């Protein structure tokens, strides 16, 4: 039988505790090294599904559709046609972490359903909008988005939300990197008639709808 003294046991426990505390966080700065894409086009995900690293999409139409809460991890979109990611969950949280998208004439993430979308450690280049809460869907609801550790370059708008439906955008501008970005967040008067929504504010911080410090764009 091997006997371990109380002093030795305490030292081992202390070492394990320090190791646990030193475990790296999943949050990190966005990586903008796009891989060579595959020829995949359209993927539909039901609830609680995950797309993981190693999958990339090129010349795709509407990319990934999440009909329920999903996680999209380290997935790359080389040439976005309509939308790279469409969130259709009725409630809950979908997470987009790692990876990136470029060459998006309009939206990268289109939020048509409800709940919360988290975008973290993401790279977006040459784009219209990173995130847009649907401005004219037939069924409207409150939507939320959280954006952090994002590297955005050559874009028109980071996030667009509908203030009349109570949308909230939480944007961690201190952790984000912007280059040639026209606006961090715009608010809109959304509708359910299919008409083009009216723009209310551009690149302004609003304590009720936009939890962000809008920094100078460079």
pLDDT over 70 percentage in the chain = 68
The predicted structure's pLDDT at residue 210? 55
The pLDDT score that the predictor gives to residue 189 is: 96
117 falls within a domain? yes
Cα dihedral 195, 196, 199, 202 sign: positive
Residue 46 lies in a domain: yes
Greater model confidence, 18 or 211: 211
Q: Which of 18-22, 36-40, 41-45, 96-100 has the lowest mean pLDDT?
A: 18-22
Residues paired with residue 86 on neighbouring β-strands, in sequence order: 65, 110
Range of the domain at 45: 29-211
Six-digit token pair at 61? 């139409």
Closest alpha carbon to 74 in 122, 25, 24? 122
Q: How many CB atoms lie within 10 A of CB 106?
A: 14
Q: Which residues pair with 199 in a beta bridge?
A: 188
pLDDT tens-digit map of 124-161: 999 999 999 999 999 999 999 999 999 999 999 999 99
pTM: 0.77
Asked, for residue 87, whether it belongs to a domain, the answer is yes
Q: Say if 184 falls within a structural domain.
A: yes
Quick check: is 107 in a domain? yes
Which burial class, exposed, middle or buried, applies to 36 when counting CB atoms under 10 A from its CB (0-12, 13-18, 19+)? exposed
We report the CATH number of the domain holding residue 62 as: 2.160.20.10
How does 118-149 read in b/e, with b if 16+ C-beta sit within 10 Å? bbbbbbbbebebbbbbbbebeebbebbbbbbb
CA neighbours closer than 13 Å in the CB half-sphere of residue 3: 2
- Compute CA distances 199 → 86, 133, 161, whole Å: 22, 13, 10
24 domain-assigned: no
Average pLDDT, the chain: 78
Q: Strand, coil or helix: what is 10?
A: helix
Q: How many domains does one find in the chain? A: 1
Model pLDDT for residues 65-93, shown as the tens digit of each residue: 888 898 998 888 888 878 899 999 999 99
Would you say residue 19 lies in a domain? no
Determine, yes or no, domain membership for 218: no
């Amino acid at each position: 039988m091997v006997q371990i003294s109380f002093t030795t046991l305490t030292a081992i426990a202390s070492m394990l505790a320090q190791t646990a505390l030193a475990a790296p966080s999943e949050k990190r700065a966005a990586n903008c090294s796009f891989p060579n894409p595959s020829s995949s086009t359209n993927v539909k995900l039901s609830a609680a599904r995950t797309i993981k690293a190693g999958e990339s999409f090129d010349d795709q139409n509407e990319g990934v559709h999440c009909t329920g809460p999903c996680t999209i991890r380290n997935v790359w979109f080389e040439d976005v046609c309509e939308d790279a990611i469409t969130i259709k969950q009725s409630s809950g949280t979908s997470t987009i972490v790692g990876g990136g998208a470029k060459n998006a004439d309009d939206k990268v993430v289109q939020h048509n359903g409800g709940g919360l979308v988290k975008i973290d450690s993401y790279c977006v280049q040459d784009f219209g909008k990173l995130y847009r809460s649907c401005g004219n869907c037939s069924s409207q609801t409150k939507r939320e988005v959280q954006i952090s550790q994002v590297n955005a370059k050559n874009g028109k708008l980071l996030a667009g939300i509908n203030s009349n439906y109570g949308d909230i955008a939480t944007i961690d501008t201190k952790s984000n990197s912007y280059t040639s970005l026209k606006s961090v967040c715009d608010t809109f008067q959304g509708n359910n008639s299919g008409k083009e929504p009216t723009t209310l504010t551009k690149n302004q911080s609003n304590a009720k709808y936009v939890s962000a410090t809008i920094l100078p764009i460079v």
